[in-house]
Amino acid sequence: MAIVYYRGMSESTTLNERGQEQIERIAPGQDPIQAIERWFEKSDTKWENIKPGETKVFIFVMGKTERVTKTFNEQQKTQYRFTVINEDGAEKTIDFSPRWAQTIVSFLKEGYQKIKITRKGAGTDTEYTFIPLQH
């Protein structure tokens, strides 16, 4: 079990509701890499991502999609931000380029909200495989 303690503020702290910094340490004997990876998994981020070689299942929340503009390599690109429920039951958002968003929308139009997604590659070489699942 990790040890949690509080100390007074400093210039480089992230504040919690009590105006103090919360520090969680890796317990003696615990694999540090596994502990850090668990911290990443428990992140409070509202964003979801799929790493190269990873497969995730999402339930897409209808009516909560946005068109956003992002800058990649100094160029403006349109992305589609979908709200999803991840495998932990948390509501998050995930962005896809128009190419992949069209595939997702085609499944949503057929009534599939639960979609298994596998990512292959990175950057401009990214490919996704989508498998619609019964919800």
State pLDDT tens for residues 91-117: 999 999 999 999 999 999 999 999 999
Spacing of C-alpha 131 from chain mean position = 19
CA dist 72 and 103 (Å) reads 22
What is the CATH classification number for the domain harbouring 125? 2.40.50
Residues 79, 28 share a domain? no
pLDDT at 13: 36
pLDDT at 33: 85
**Residue 9 confidence (pLDDT) above 60:** no
Residues 109, 64 share a domain? yes
Query: What is the SS3 assignment for 101?
Result: helix
Tell me whether residue 103 is in a domain.
Answer: yes
Residue 37's domain comprises 3-41
Q: How many residues does the chain have?
A: 135
83 vs 31, more confident:
83
Tokens 């919800």 -> residue:
135
Q: What is the number of structural domains in the chain? A: 2
Which residues have a Cβ under 8 Å from the Cβ of 19 and sit 6 or more positions away?
A: 9
Residues 73, 35 share a domain? no
Residues 105, 64 share a domain? yes
Mean pLDDT in residue range 111-124: 93
Torsion from C-alpha of 114, 85, 127, 133, nearest 10 degrees: -10
Residues 86, 37 share a domain? no
Residues 87, 129 share a domain? yes
108 vs 72, more confident:
108
The string of pLDDT tens digits covering residues 47-60 is 888 999 999 999 99
Sign of CA dihedral 66, 94, 41, 9: negative
